[in-house]
Structure 1
Amino acid sequence: MDLSLLVCLVAIFIYVFVKNVITTQYKVYLLFHFFMMIWPIGQIGVHTTDRPHLQIIYITLSFVGFSMLGFGWLLFAKFLVNGTYYRPGRNVVLLMFTPSLLLSAAMIWNPANLFVAPVDDNYSERVYGPIFWCMLMLLVSYYLYSLYQLWKAYRSEARQADKARIFNALIGIVIMLGLPTLDLAINVGLDPWLPVIPGLTTLGIVLSDLYFLFSLQKHRSFDLVKVAQQDVVDTLSVGIVVLDEEDFVIEMNRNINPDLAIALGKRLDMASLLAGRSLDANAGEAFLRSYGEHSSERIHTEIALGAGPGPKQFLSLHAARIMVGGNLQGRVITLQDITELKSLVLKSQEHNTSLQERNRALIYMQDELFQANRKLEQMAITDSLTGCFNRRFLMQQLEHEVLTNLRYKIPFAVFLFDIDLFKLVNDTYGHVVGDEVIRRTAEAVRGALRRTDILARYGGEEFAVYLPHTNKDQAELLAQRIRQVVESNEVPTGRGRVPISVTISMGVHVVEEQTDLQIDDVKTYLKDLFSKIDSALYRAKDNGRNRVVNH
């Protein structure tokens, strides 16, 4: 049975590796999957030999791999909870990995048979010692902590897609924990009274792995923002390639010439791309230098496709960095067909008037490209439904603003509000009207704010507002004004239906000018800040809704 299940695990590993673009999240998954495969390999080895020195090697291999599952699962769970852009620090990974590493070393050493001892000099029947039970307790700790992280994220997430993804992970961890527990109970605890049932732990590993794979495949396909962005990119008249920080292709539109041999998931070697294609060797070398130095400016060069005396295609190549929070996240490469324009340039002495027209056309196309790039940049920081800023942009702005405010003792306030009884609106009028309620509520609140205030969609029907240079009295007036504006705002529900109005409940937190607070970690400070505001918001809900509560 262990052999069959091992074959299944290997097949899943190959499928994920072949069928998916190996992003950071999939790399973590494959590491986790590798730890899964170690257990059945060792179990198969134990039953293929009767030599004690080989049996103990296979037994140790099995349990070393099993002990690493806790670390693998915890790391994988953190990526599921924190999303695609999560990058754990080296110290965090080391802290998660060290307990498993130390116990693995103890199992390999097996001093005085404290891990496992043979019965009658044969490990087919064996007795487990304190190190074994410490390993089990460590695994339980890993899984319980992972379960807590997932459950906490599930309770706090507002988007249904995120809830479904995290809920699937919760089911996966229950499957993984359940069958090994049953294996421990029957084959270790009840061993004197019940026959051995092989393969229970491996079966649990395979079932949970299938569930994880199902969850990854399912939820990756419902990224509506990505679909919308791809639709915008595909309508442009230029070729666009998006690279990650390591120059791997993560997105491209349909207008990329196949002769360039650019493919999703493959690394783009810019030097190879330009080799033999640059129209000006000096310009090509300057472009590569700026590209390698991570220049912050948009850089440009021109290339030609096609060999021999036949017709050539001329392309204008632009490269620009993608920056998030001051860190390089990737690049956008644009390839614009300038074949006609290049032909006119070569005949400029004979067709000067025509050349001027083509130059104007080029300026128009460049402006179109610039506007499209601006639209893409805007989509990255705004919510597609309401036009407000998104949560990620808000948190990035707050990290900078809060440090500045505390350093110079500038008062500021943060509001957190959501629409009361929004689920009832969806159930009564449908999700189309529900989306319209969210959109019009955001529009009404935006009209009541000052130019310097930042309104962001925090999640679902929940919004956050950052108000710089705002003391407690001003914050109270603004909060009440927002509440009244929303309450008086009417939302149409369709032909023949009476318009509806909604109310909001709001939590408010004000940091006054006289504070002397010093912070070491702005992310932790913001997390605590929003926890306080969230508590105030829940008190507003509990006290009858349609009200403002100060923390």
Structure 2
Amino acid sequence: MLLEAGWMDGLMFWAMLALLIYVFAVNTISSLHKYYLAFHAIMLMWPLSQWILHTSDQMILRQIASYAGLISLLSLGPCWVLFARLFTKPLYPLSRGAMGLIAAPVLLFVPVIVLKPEWWFDLSALPVTSGQVGWLFGLYILAISFYFILATSDMLRVIRGASSSMQRQQIILLLIGIAIFACCTCFDLIYNVLLEGHVAKRYGITSLGVVLSDLFIIYVIQRYRVLDIVSIARREVVDTMTAGVVVVDGQDIVIDVNRGMHVFFPVRKGVLLPMKEILGLIPDSTEREEVWTQYYFSPYEHLDTEIHIMFQEDVKPSYVSLHISPIYDDNKRWVGRLLTFHDVTQLRVMVEQMNQKNTTLFERNLELIHIQQELQYANQKLQEMAITDPLTNCYNRRHLLEQMEEKVPTCVSSHQPFSIVLFDIDHFKTINDNYGHVVGDEVLSFVSNIVRKELHHSDIFARYGGEEFVIFMPGVNAQEAYSTAERLIDLIKSAMPTIASEAIMVTVSIGWVAYEGQELSLGDDVRSWILALLGEADRHMYEAKSNGRNGIRPRLAIEEEDKQVSLDAALPRHSALEASASREKR
């Protein structure tokens, strides 16, 4: 008879044990798994206690099993509430105080069950077959009913306000499981307690309800990977972030919040997020109005702004970056927002320090650039001084020879003409003797200024020595050179500089040579060839001085009939140049 009465409860005990082993065989153990372990152990206790109660011959075991069964059945109530809150945690979290109130009836009933069994029913002949139900048993049933009504109401609220269909499906399955358990328990209470003696007993009905409800729980865990270590780890990562993370629904009710958020604002789940106060911390009034408008009238847009928070009095406000993103459900419907708060004070300080360093570096770079420009200007001046005659601002002899060594071979190899005009100021010694060397210097500058204005930018004008000047004109043939020399003769003679209220007659004697592009061999010593060429022009200049000064040698004759130009006297002869080069070397 005992085996007949307890086989169903025993079978349900082993079924519950097998389910427990299965859950922990296929999942990684975590804190969430431990919660389920406690819940499953309490569910396991009822079929075990009923199996012992109906199969054991020892009175003490049957009495302990009876106590354990009553306690486990009562404990299933708060366990269902807490487990329902575990699934609905983002929407309806429980504080520690609320959890204590929920567990209070169990803590009160346990000593009464153990110490005052006569208040419940007569336990003289266990299992209970003819005991009279006491008034406290009615309170016991009311407590269990309250727990299941509370768990059911939580689940119904979640079903109505769930942000995703997946969460809604989870809660519906759990609600079906708790409904099956409640129905089995009520049927067992009515059939085996209230109708005792009127109908035949049916054992194991509540145990069957426990197993069926647990099957629904396990299906939800496995189907939706509730105990998945990745999901748990993701939650832990969010909780350990230094940034504050808040999830709100469409009415700004806080659905979820991580631990890092308490550094910025004391936000609790299930309360209204004070967005007006948060957005009021934006320092710029214009930006504050824009963000406020976008937040309430454009909920589908991403927002980025910065707020200032005073964590301590008499301390500069901290800079906090606020990012707001919309949240959509599986059907692409907008259901809420995700707000993240990042303390960027250190970053701002580093940026300001970097900006200051960049400003200092920029100023130093400007100073270096200024110094570099000054050095470049000084080098340019030194270079000009190295190649320029300081009195007349013409090139000096060294620069003239360097330029001619570079350009003359190019002209000869490409058969391009060039001309050299060499002139000397007439009676310059007399001017120095009569007026002094200061006036002589002024005359040199005066003449060089006149000549410089008449030259092309490609011409090279240099002071060759004393009162002698040389003009090297690449690309200029004999006729053009002679025309330039004539123009200079006339300009210098007509200028007559006035020094100390006295006009001074200044004239020059010019000698010149020209290369017209004929075949010519310069040899290996180009400088000697150039010096010979200058010597030839110098000889022509002295011919002009010998013929009365203020003239040009050689003269260029243009016959009136055929306009042919006689250039023989002006063209450099190779043999003559060689002889001049020999004289220069001596």
Give the TM-score range, shorter chain.
0.3 to 0.5
Q: Give me the TM-score of the superposition, normalised by structure 2.
A: 0.43
Q: In terms of Rg, which structure is larger? A: 2
Q: Give me the TM-score of the superposition, normalised by structure 1.
A: 0.45
